[in-house]
Amino acid sequence: MTGPRFGYGTNGFANHRLGDALRLLADLGYEGVALTLDHQHLDPFSPTLAADVAALAKDLDRLGLAVVVETGARYLLDPWHKHAPTLLHADSEPRLDLLAAAIDIAADLGAEAVSFWSGVRPPDVPEDVAWDRLVAGCARLVEAATKVRVPLGFELEPGMLVADLDGFDRLRARLGDPEFFGLTLDVGHCRCVEPASVPDCVRRAGPHLVNVQIDDMRRDVHEHLGFGEGEIDFPPVLAALDEVGYRGLVAVELPRHSHAAPDTARRSLTFLRGAAWQADAVARITADPTAIRALFPVARRRCGPEVADDVRVGLLAALPPDVLADEITSLYRFGDPAEKRAVLRALSVLPVGDLGLPLVRDALRTNDSTLVTAALGPYGSAGLDAPAYRQGVLKCVFMGIPLAEIGALRVDDELRRMLRAFADERVAAGRPVPADVPMVLAGEA
């Protein structure tokens, strides 16, 4: 895997001067920008446009940033109506002029693509008319783009006339499959509207892909979310982009995060680099399972401490079943406390049968509360014999680990007796009884 080239959409830097945003993104380590032409960022209607474009091209070159041109500005054409007019309106000339200008600007900047969308169908425009207008508009743009050899990236946008991959296929077929009519895929949108999984969407889009936007999202909710706030598992998405041979920019699309742009940009790149590392690590483990031995410890350093546990579970899930028990046993044996904890947490999702129970018993012998807690997770709770389980629960109470952290309790008469005896001893010693104990005894936990 050569590694994706990450960019950032300037529409997420609406409160920054363009030059400041570009420098900041280059300093953070981004390799490109998705530049939304807007009144404050390279206004395509500026009287000094030619000089502005030349200066920007120089800046981008100096900073080593690649660029794609985006055209989704909200109030660039009509101060009253967002995005209006679109290609679907009766008078779509201002939109066509803007897009033609964008194509010329892209050519002058050496941009990798120009991105645009269909627009929302106005209520008074019948669907067939809207399609006819869209096809006619796109045909003109294809002609202009072909002339300067800049690929068009048609973006699928939830709520617009063309919102999904089926719509794209239909549109491209009506245009006669022109070479310079490609696809802009927003990864979040796939999760929002497409029936297939996001990696499958990427595979289907692959042959036409010229531009990728990336963000997190939830099913049926068109809201661009920071990474980790939605439902998307990103490493398989990045692996699919690699698999289809996509080498263009993968640009963060968080237009509603401008108020905290620098921090969002920093955290996004950390997240995406971690996800790319995980995708690559999974591929290496799939090819050679012993590779996990040196990759497992590195996960925290490369992906960050917040997600290290999840990443490690993801690496373990890539192991083939025949070596799984041996590998997890030695990863646990030679692991630091955080690595051991990740192995324990993974047990409930790995097909290990009873072979993970020795690790659970080892963890219960320690005085490390994180290991004891992880040992009594779903796998240990279900798999331990009753005496060992009861001792584990009692140890939690003794160590001050809240029982809420170990999930549903298996309470029986013997455990009640043990907890009662523990409470009696505490009372006799004049020491406090943890609140969990009376709750379990009263049958409330």
Partner 1 sequence: MRVFDPHVHMSSRTTDDYRAMRAAGVRAVVEPAFWQGQPRTSVGSFVDYFDSLLGWEPFRAAQFGVRHHCAIALNPKEANDPRCLDVLDLLPRYLAKDGVVAVGEVGYDSMTPEEDRVFAAQLELAVEAALPVLVHTPHRDKAEGTKRTLDVVRESGIAPDLVVVDHLNELTVAVVADSGCWMGFSIYPDTKMDERRMVAVLREHGTERMLVNSAADWGSSDPLKAVKTGHAMLAAGFTADDVDKVLWRNPAEFYGKSGRLDLSEVDVDPNAGFQGSSVRRGQG
- Locate 135 and state its tokens: 């096809």
Q: Cite the DSSP H helix spans in 259-385.
A: 261-287, 292-295, 299-303, 308-317, 321-333, 337-346, 357-365, 369-375, 378-383
CB 185 within 8 A of CB 210: no
Output 155 or 339, the one with its CB closest to partner 1. Answer: 339
The CB-of-371 to partner 1 minimum distance in angstroms stands at 8
Cβ–Cβ contacts within 10 Å for residue 395, how many?
A: 18
The CB-of-295 to partner 1 minimum distance in angstroms stands at 7
Spatial separation of the C-alpha atoms in residues 240 and 244, rounded to whole Å: 6
The CB-of-430 to partner 1 minimum distance in angstroms stands at 18
The CB-of-267 to partner 1 minimum distance in angstroms stands at 19
The CB-of-278 to partner 1 minimum distance in angstroms stands at 15
The verdict on whether omega for the bond into residue 85 sits within 30 degrees of 0, i.e. cis, is: yes
The CB-of-297 to partner 1 minimum distance in angstroms stands at 4
> What radius of gyration, in Å, describes the C-alpha atoms of the chain?
28
H or E segment to which residue 51 belongs: helix 49-63
CA distances from 443 to 296, 390, 409, 419 (A): 41, 16, 10, 12
Spatial separation of the C-alpha atoms in residues 31 and 2, rounded to whole Å: 14
Output 259 or 301, the one with its CB closest to partner 1. Answer: 301
The CB-of-339 to partner 1 minimum distance in angstroms stands at 9
The CB-of-426 to partner 1 minimum distance in angstroms stands at 17
Cβ–Cβ contacts within 10 Å for residue 220, how many?
A: 9
CB 420 within 8 A of CB 390: no
The CB-of-216 to partner 1 minimum distance in angstroms stands at 27
Phi and psi at residue 213, to the nearest 5°: -110, 150
Output 2 or 367, the one with its CB closest to partner 1. Answer: 367
CA distances from 91 to 56, 69, 128, 435 (A): 32, 23, 17, 71
Output 128 or 336, the one with its CB closest to partner 1. Answer: 336
CB 259 within 8 A of CB 252: no
Output 256 or 301, the one with its CB closest to partner 1. Answer: 301
Output 333 or 410, the one with its CB closest to partner 1. Answer: 333
Q: Quote helix, strand, coil % in the chain, to nearest 5.
A: 55, 10, 30
Output 162 or 363, the one with its CB closest to partner 1. Answer: 363
Closest C-alpha to 99, from 142, 132, 51, 156: 142
The CB-of-320 to partner 1 minimum distance in angstroms stands at 19
Output 339 or 436, the one with its CB closest to partner 1. Answer: 339
Output 79 or 337, the one with its CB closest to partner 1. Answer: 337
Residues in contact with partner 1 by the rule CB under 8 A: 293-298, 300-301, 333-334, 336-337, 366-369, 371, 399
Give the torsion sign (CA, 67, 69, 72, 75): positive
Spatial separation of the C-alpha atoms in residues 167 and 164, rounded to whole Å: 5
Output 45 or 334, the one with its CB closest to partner 1. Answer: 334
